[in-house]
């Protein structure tokens, strides 16, 4: 398969498959390394980790592969909610906390220190760093370039992709509305940024002269071939890798993926305060009246953290955040390296059928 020079030469990939960074535990060192070793690009989600855990994760990945991989960080504004906002949000969650036998209380911190995380990743000098939820400036990007690190930004609109280009990013990951997990929107409203992958990718490819990565709803080689035809140089898949044995998610989450249908997901702010697509469950239904009222990320995310952790310990899938994209019903429970090979083979077969 012919690869875009950026992915083949700069990143050393052998196939156009990128494993999405999924914060909160799914992207274990084993998963990241397996994807990179198979010729794709594994991505380590570091956004919710303390600096020492980021360093430990990168060290573990490097012990498993000598190929390129990415480290992903969030770009967040400072969080400083008023006591009234926190008390009100905890009041809405109180019945669920009581059911799970956990006292609701504000966390020690709202999120990890973003500046400390960034300095840690700079010092570690991974081949690639990617950002979502916001933008870093040109000076920051240049610091990574001087460290020998490529920079990939996340965009959900053409305007966001152009902003990353203007800041000096090396490539842009275009996230369609079908994608599982959190939306990467940082310009404009979340509602207007819900553009489907097939509509968004060609518009971004026409608007910027940078390598484009397509994400959202891609689960098999047909999807990979489709986004390559639309102008992307690689496809990023998240939900597809959640069913791999190397993804250490809760068994009930994997069972829910296996049982999912085409209409199984919904975008919600209820778990984290930021729009995110996941499998519909009891928490979403019971908290629906507060959808527009819960505090923004990372406050709501921190306020529900103990609840979600308790739900996982008690095997209560109805109160867990089961992130998944619209293609969840197409999940395949195979090892990561096997999935990369399967995706590549399927893509090649589609392209061969379409060739004149």
What's the predicted TM-score (pTM) here? 0.97
Q: Across the chain, where does the E strand assignment appear?
A: 17-19, 42-45, 69-74, 128-132, 150-155, 171-175, 181-182, 212-215, 234-237, 265-268, 276-279
Cα–Cα distance between 266 and 13 in angstroms, integer? 33
How much is the pLDDT for 26?
95
Residue 251, helix vs strand vs coil: helix
Give the integer Cα–Cα distance in Å for 32 and 43. Answer: 6
User: 313: how many CB neighbours lie within 10 A of its CB?
Assistant: 11
Using the Cα atoms of residue 187, residue 144, residue 177 and residue 278 in order, give the sign of their dihedral.
negative
Q: Are 54 and 71 in contact (CB under 8 A)?
A: yes
Contacts of 89 (CB under 8 A, 6+ apart): 294, 295, 299, 300, 303
* The pLDDT value given to residue 355: 85
pLDDT by 10s per residue, the chain, length 356: 789 999 999 999 999 999 999 999 999 999 999 999 999 999 999 999 999 999 999 999 999 999 999 999 999 999 999 999 999 999 999 999 999 999 999 999 999 999 999 999 999 999 999 999 999 999 999 999 999 999 999 999 999 999 999 999 999 999 999 999 999 999 999 999 999 999 999 999 999 999 999 999 999 999 999 999 999 999 999 999 999 999 999 999 999 999 999 999 999 999 999 999 999 999 999 999 999 999 999 999 999 999 999 999 999 999 999 999 999 999 999 999 999 999 999 999 999 998 87
pLDDT at 356: 77
Exposure string over 328-346, b if 16+ CB within 10 A, otherwise e: bbbbbeeebbebbbbbbeb
Output the pLDDT for position 285.
Answer: 97
Output DSSP code: residue 295: P
Tell me the HSE value of 20 on the side-chain side, using a 13 A CA sphere.
32
- Beta bridge partners of residue 74, listed in sequence order: 132
Q: Catalogue the E-assigned strands of 1-149.
A: 17-19, 42-45, 69-74, 128-132
Beta bridge partners of 175: 215
Quote the pLDDT of residue 2.
82
CA atoms within 13 A on the CB side of 267: 15
- Residue 161 CB partners (closer than 8 Å, separation 6+): 153, 155, 172, 174, 204, 207, 208, 210, 212
């Amino acid at each position: 398969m012919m690869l875009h020079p950026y992915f083949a030469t700069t990143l050393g990939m052998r196939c156009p498959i990128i494993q999405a960074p999924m914060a909160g535990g799914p992207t274990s060192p084993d998963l990241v390394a397996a994807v990179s070793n198979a010729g794709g690009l594994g991505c380590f989600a570091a956004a919710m980790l303390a600096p020492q855990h980021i360093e430990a994760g990168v060290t573990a990945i490097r012990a498993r592969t000598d190929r390129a991989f990415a480290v992903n960080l969030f770009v967040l504004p400072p969080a400083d909610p008023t006591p009234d906002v926190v008390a009100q949000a905890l009041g809405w969650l109180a019945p669920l906390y009581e059911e799970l036998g956990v006292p609701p209380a504000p966390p020690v911190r709202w999120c990890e220190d973003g500046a400390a995380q960034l300095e840690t990743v700079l010092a570690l000098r991974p081949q690639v760093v990617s950002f979502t939820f916001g933008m870093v400036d040109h000076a920051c990007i240049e610091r990574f370039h001087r460290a020998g690190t490529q920079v990939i930004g996340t965009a959900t609109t053409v305007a966001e992709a152009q902003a990353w280009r203007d800041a000096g990013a090396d490539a842009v990951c275009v996230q369609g509305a079908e994608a599982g997990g959190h939306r990467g929107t940082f310009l404009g409203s979340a509602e207007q940024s819900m553009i489907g992958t097939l509509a968004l990718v060609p518009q971004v490819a026409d608007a910027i002269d940078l390598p484009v990565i397509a994400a959202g709803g891609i689960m098999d080689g047909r999807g990979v071939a489709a986004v390559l035809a639309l102008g992307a140089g690689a496809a990023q898949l998240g939900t597809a890798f959640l069913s791999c044995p190397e993804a250490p998610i809760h068994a009930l989450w994997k069972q829910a993926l296996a049982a999912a249908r085409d209409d199984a997901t919904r975008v919600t702010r209820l778990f984290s305060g930021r729009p995110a697509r996941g499998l519909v469950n009891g928490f979403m239904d019971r908290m629906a009246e507060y959808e527009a009222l819960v505090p923004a990320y990372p406050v709501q995310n921190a306020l529900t953290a103990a609840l979600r952790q308790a739900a996982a310990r008690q095997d209560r899938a109805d109160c867990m955040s089961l992130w998944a994209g619209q293609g969840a019903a197409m999940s395949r429970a195979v090892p990561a390296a096997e999935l990369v090979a399967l995706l590549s083979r399927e893509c090649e077969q589609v392209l061969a059928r379409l060739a004149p």
